[in-house]
Amino acid sequence: MIASPSDNPGVRRLIADVTRGRDLGDGEVRERLAHATWSTLCEPGDGAAGAAISAFGAEDALRRLVDGTLTEVPGIAARTLRDAMARWTPRLAPDAVESALRIASAAGVGLVIPGDEHWPAALGDLGAHGPICLWVRGDTSALSRLEPSVALVGARAATSYGEHVTSELAAELAGSGIPIISGAAYGIDGVAHRAALAVGGQTVALLAGGADRPYPAGHAQLIERISTHGVVVSEVPCGAAPTRWRFLQRNRIIAALSTATVVVEAGWRSGSLNTAGHAAQLGRALGAVPGPITSAASAGTHRLLREYAATCVTSADDVRDMLGIATGGSTYVADGRPDTDQSSRVRDALSARVWRDAADLARRSGLSVGEVEGVLGLLRLDGVAESGSSGWRLLTPGSAPALF
């Protein structure tokens, strides 16, 4: 049913094409063809297919499926396997994979399979539900340089606030060498890609349909630019349409590829919450940008803060913290509380107008004379107080701190 590549020089040439001219042995060609074929047989995230490929290798698993001898897969219940085969078999068409390869070859889309030099190791965390292969348009090698990387995702119906914040975060992170991963959708996704491109940074777009099919159509030009300066990726074969299921599964790849996922704006039921859920499930760092609670476009990010314990992201430094990259620039205060020590009391007791001696200050501050004298010494060092023959006074009344 499936053409053997050694029988079909056309298919062999297509496989060579999508492998970017690398010189391939017969075994490699067959292995690649088998992965490509599996990606036409099953929908993304098919754990039974993943288990079969993991048990027998893509080529042998495929042969068994065609022969009708795929009767047992370790870890998969017989009933589940029967159901899975009932899903795969209707798609065993001789020309399906050839068609996908032909489109890929024509559109300059490459094929990457597990074990390839640039296969992203992070996808291993998806286990049997990981992609069988990736269809890639652009710089394939970028896929092996995604640690660290950040997914910036969010609502298609973004507000100007969300777009502004996305643009700032993406530009600063991409500008400092951190790849920005997103889904090329309208709204937050598109702004994230654009800002990364604008600063000459790396960006990766994950599509729910084939890598040859720009979606949404209004982002065709943007996706073209991403494929030139970054990389466009899909796990479904070329020619495949984006479907709701594929969008949801595409999200798991965004989450898995990224060291951290940050949702900038999201409605209460936004699809980006799905990406966030995958990130949390995979143990990836999850961040959410807060916004006005009066904005429906922030309802989803607030939900992530409240229900998923997402990190509250207010700056690129916050994201770097999530990635474990030392920021240094921030001046965090140890405990976030105003100074509550005795010096507050003594400062309260000091006047800028009149001189007061230590005994007077002790009475006014409720401290002992000894404590007051100790504090006064420090206040003098800090340039806050000065001493004279009649006692002490505040040195710079204009700069005296407000109560808070």
- 362 contacts a copy of itself (rule: CB under 8 A): yes
Per-position x/- string for 127-156, each x denoting binding to a copy of itself as judged by CB under 8 A, each - no binding: -----------------------------x
Report DSSP letters for 361-376, one per residue: HHHHHTS-HHHHHHHH
Total residues contacting a copy of itself (rule CB under 8 A)? 73
Q: CA Rg, the chain, in Å?
A: 30
On whether the CB atoms of residues 1 and 16 are closer than 8 A, the answer is: no
Long-range contacts, stretch 368-371, CB < 8 angstroms, 24+ apart: 371/342
CA dist 153 and 202 (Å) reads 16
| Among the listed residues 270, 285, 316, 375, the single contact to a copy of itself using CB under 8 A | 270
| CB-based contact 59:3 (threshold 8 Å) | no
Which of these segments, 4-12, 50-58, 306-314, 378-386, binds a copy of itself (CB under 8 A)?
306-314
- Contact (Cβ atoms closer than 8 angstroms) between residue 128 and residue 51: yes
366 binds a copy of itself (CB under 8 A): yes
Residue ranges of E strands in 35-129: 110-112
Q: Does residue 160 interact with a copy of itself by CB under 8 A?
A: no
For a copy of itself, the binding residue among 225, 303, 320, 356 (CB under 8 A) is: 303
Q: Rule CB under 8 A: choose which of 283, 333, 381, 389 binds a copy of itself.
A: 333
**Calpha distance 294→41 (Å, rounded):** 46
Interaction of residue 277 with a copy of itself, rule CB under 8 A: yes
Interaction of residue 371 with a copy of itself, rule CB under 8 A: yes
**Does 359 participate in binding a copy of itself (rule CB under 8 A)?**
yes
CA distance 102 to 199: 35
Among 33, 365, 375, 384, binds a copy of itself (CB under 8 A): 365
Contact 264, 169 (CB under 8 A): yes
| Euclidean distance between CA atoms 233 and 156, whole angstroms | 20
Residues between 385 and 404 that touch a copy of itself (CB under 8 A)? 401, 403-404
CB of 276 to a copy of itself, least distance (A): 8
By CB under 8 A, tell whether 200 contacts a copy of itself: no
Residues in 23-62 at the binding interface with a copy of itself, rule: CB under 8 A: 42-43, 46
